[in-house]
């Protein structure tokens, strides 16, 4: 292992330069007209890079963005007949960078400040999966046999629901066969509190549009005699929660699996405080469901959120109208064992039932991704926790997180494998926000963690198979 770790140390500067090259691509999957070419160029760059470091790499075209599959050649694996196979997953697509004016330096011009690399996609997810890639490179370049087979899958549509990957996994189930999946596309509470995540929330999306008059009306002529769709939308949205932060949709909590007392106990070891969350978000006061801690609310309880609302006149000055339409984009974060389609059914029924007769309601459904939960124990979990501990120098805690990577369930359903997530991103990395960054210390530790992970899989899993 020393050779592998030394390689990572001596090539640190080089790997930062390479990561800068990777984040320079504006691979924004949500805006294909504007960024489609950059996205393809990013995939090409990754294919070349994976090939250069010695992986057997294939670029698979899809009806959306290409999927990259890169494998460690068999001859690089120690005891290849009995060695376990792990799958690693990452995504090269990124969130839209807007609003541009809030970035201190442009989103696709990587800049280092205070040992952080600022760029869209630096943390989510380029920096994190690149750390795994660099660990594999270190084994290959130092001639150190890998203790496990590794298949690295990198997709380009994660931020828009992984549309192409579902059928890809089904069609390539044989060649993707593995014993376990590891993903670093998530967070840790801090460098002194590294974690391995064993549960994520799911997410379902919907758009609601209310239409009143068939055009915007003069509010002096008609105001007071016709319902205002913007007002009605606000009223409707306000019915979703009660005063205790509970969701009022009938049946919504029926399938929610409660946290165990062991889980709640283990979360107490995490450093997060109400004060730290207040500081991170800038809110004047926290909010949430009665009876749960802030950490539980944002990781282990379901939510309904408005992501955007539109109605009426948005220009400068005033315009005296009753708008014709008002609409809201809504997503729900769901927890085990909620069903994302069932939750959409429940929300749709609730909104229709509550909608007044003065406006017409139109509902359009979006993606529906399942929540995930696995056991934080077992040989692969021990390997991950040991690797995290060795890299960060602190015991690995276990965590649930509130974000979603719904495709994990497809890997489970199709390939029968479980996933653990040794995250590398810090709470202030600004995933999806302006000024996204990745801590270069996390990058360094992430590469080392990944190198140890392969080693520990050798110890925990391969060893017992020989």
Q: DSSP states of 387-451 as a string?
A: HHHHHHSSPPEEEEESS--THHHHHHHHH---EEB---B-TTS-TTSTT-EEEHHHHHHHHHHHH
| Binders of ligand BES in range 172-201 (CB under 6 A) | 185-187, 200
When asked if residue 365 is in the footprint of ligand BES (CB under 6 A), the reply is no
- Tell me how far CA of residue 37 lies from CA of 34, 44, 129, 164, 394, in angstroms: 8, 11, 22, 18, 42
Phi and psi, residue 328, nearest 5°: -135, 140
The site map against ligand BES for 121-140 (x = CB under 6 A) is ---xx---------------
When asked if residue 338 is in the footprint of ligand BES (CB under 6 A), the reply is no
User: Do 132 and 67 form a contact (C-beta atoms < 8 A)?
Assistant: no
Q: For residue 74, what are its two tokens?
A: 């068999």
Q: For residue 1, what are its two tokens?
A: 């292992």
Instruction: Report the DSSP pairing between strands 202-211 and 325-334.
Output: antiparallel
When asked if residue 401 is in the footprint of ligand BES (CB under 6 A), the reply is yes
Task: Please give the DSSP secondary-structure letter assigned to residue 272.
Answer: -
When asked if residue 422 is in the footprint of ligand BES (CB under 6 A), the reply is no
Which of 235, 255, 329, 367 binds ligand BES (CB under 6 A)? It is 367
Strand partners for 234: none
| Binders of Zn ion in range 109-148 (CB under 5 A) | 124
CB 207, min distance to ligand BES, A: 15
When asked if residue 147 is in the footprint of ligand BES (CB under 6 A), the reply is no
CB 418, min distance to ligand BES, A: 16
Rounded Cα distance between 431 and 421, Å, is 16
CB 436, min distance to Zn ion, A: 10
161 binds, among Zn ion, ligand BES, none (CB under 5 to 8 A by kind): ligand BES
Q: How many residues bind Zn ion (CB under 5 A)?
A: 1
Segment near ligand BES (CB under 6 A), from 2-10, 174-182, 353-361, 396-404?
A: 396-404
Residue 31 or 51 having the CB closest to Zn ion: 31
Which of 151, 404, 419, 450 binds ligand BES (CB under 6 A)? It is 404
State whether the Cα torsion 233-238-241-245 is positive or negative. Answer: positive
- Tell me how far CA of residue 417 lies from CA of 115, 158, 246, 308, in angstroms: 36, 19, 34, 36
Cis amide leading into 125 (omega within 30): yes
Which of 97, 403, 446, 458 binds ligand BES (CB under 6 A)? It is 403
Side-chain half-sphere exposure of 116, counting CA atoms within 13 A: 18
Residue 401 or 456 having the CB closest to ligand BES: 401
The site map against ligand BES for 262-301 (x = CB under 6 A) is ----------------------------------------
Residue 180 or 198 having the CB closest to ligand BES: 198
Burial of 2 (0-12, 13-18, 19+ CB in 10 A): exposed
| Binders of ligand BES in range 424-463 (CB under 6 A) | 431
Positions that interact with ligand BES (CB under 6 A): 124-125, 158-159, 161, 185-187, 200, 203, 367, 369, 401, 403-406, 431
Positions that interact with Zn ion (CB under 5 A): 124
């Amino acid at each position: 292992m020393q050779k592998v770790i030394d390689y990572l140390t001596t090539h640190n500067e080089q790997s930062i330069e390479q990561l800068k090259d990777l984040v320079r691509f504006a691979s924004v999957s949500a805006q294909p007209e504007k960024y489609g070419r950059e996205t393809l160029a990013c995939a090409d760059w990754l294919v070349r890079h994976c090939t250069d470091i010695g992986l057997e790499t294939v670029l698979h075209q899809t009806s959306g963005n290409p999927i990259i599959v890169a494998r460690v050649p068999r001859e690089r694996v120690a005891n290849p007949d009995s060695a376990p196979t792990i799958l690693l997953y990452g995504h090269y697509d990124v969130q839209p960078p807007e609003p541009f004016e809030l970035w201190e330096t442009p989103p696709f011009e990587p800049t280092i400040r205070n040992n952080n690399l600022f760029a869209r996609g630096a943390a989510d997810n380029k920096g994190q999966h690149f750390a795994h890639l660099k660990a594999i490179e270190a084994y290959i370049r130092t001639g150190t046999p890998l203790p496990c087979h590794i298949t690295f899958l990198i997709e380009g549509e994660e931020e828009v629901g992984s549309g192409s990957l579902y059928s890809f996994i089904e069609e390539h189930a044989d060649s993707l066969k593995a014993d376990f999946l590891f993903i670093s596309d998530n967070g840790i509470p801090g460098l002194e509190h590294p974690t391995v995540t064993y549960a994520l929330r799911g997410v379902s999306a919907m758009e609601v549009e209310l239409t009143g008059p068939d055009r915007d009306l003069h509010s002096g002529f008609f105001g007071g005699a016709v319902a205002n769709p913007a007002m009605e939308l606000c009223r409707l949205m306000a019915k979703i929660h009660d005063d205790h932060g509970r969701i009022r949709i009938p049946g919504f909590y029926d399938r929610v699996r409660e946290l165990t007392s062991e889980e709640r106990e283990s979360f107490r070891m995490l450093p997060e405080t109400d004060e730290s969350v207040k500081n991170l978000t800038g809110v004047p006061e926290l909010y949430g469901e009665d009876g749960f801690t802030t950490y539980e609310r944002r990781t282990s309880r379901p939510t309904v959120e408005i992501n955007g609302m539109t109605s009426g006149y948005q220009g400068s000055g005033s315009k005296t109208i009753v708008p014709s339409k008002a609409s809201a984009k809504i997503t729900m974060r769901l927890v085990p064992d909620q069903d994302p389609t069932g939750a959409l059914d429940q929300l749709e029924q609730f909104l229709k039932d509550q909608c007044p007769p003065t406006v017409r309601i139109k509902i359009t459904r979006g993606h529906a991704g399942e929540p995930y939960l696995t056991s934080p124990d077992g040989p692969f979990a021990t390997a991950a926790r040991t690797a995290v501990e060795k890299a960060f120098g602190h015991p690995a805690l276990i965590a649930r997180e509130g974000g979603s990577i719904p495709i994990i369930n497809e890997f489970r359903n199709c390939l029968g494998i479980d996933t653990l997530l040794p995250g590398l991103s810090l709470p202030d990395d600004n995933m999806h926000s302006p000024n996204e960054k990745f801590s270069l210390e996390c990058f360094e530790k992430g590469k080392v963690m990944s190198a140890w992970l392969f080693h520990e899989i050798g110890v925990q899993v391969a060893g017992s198979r020989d």
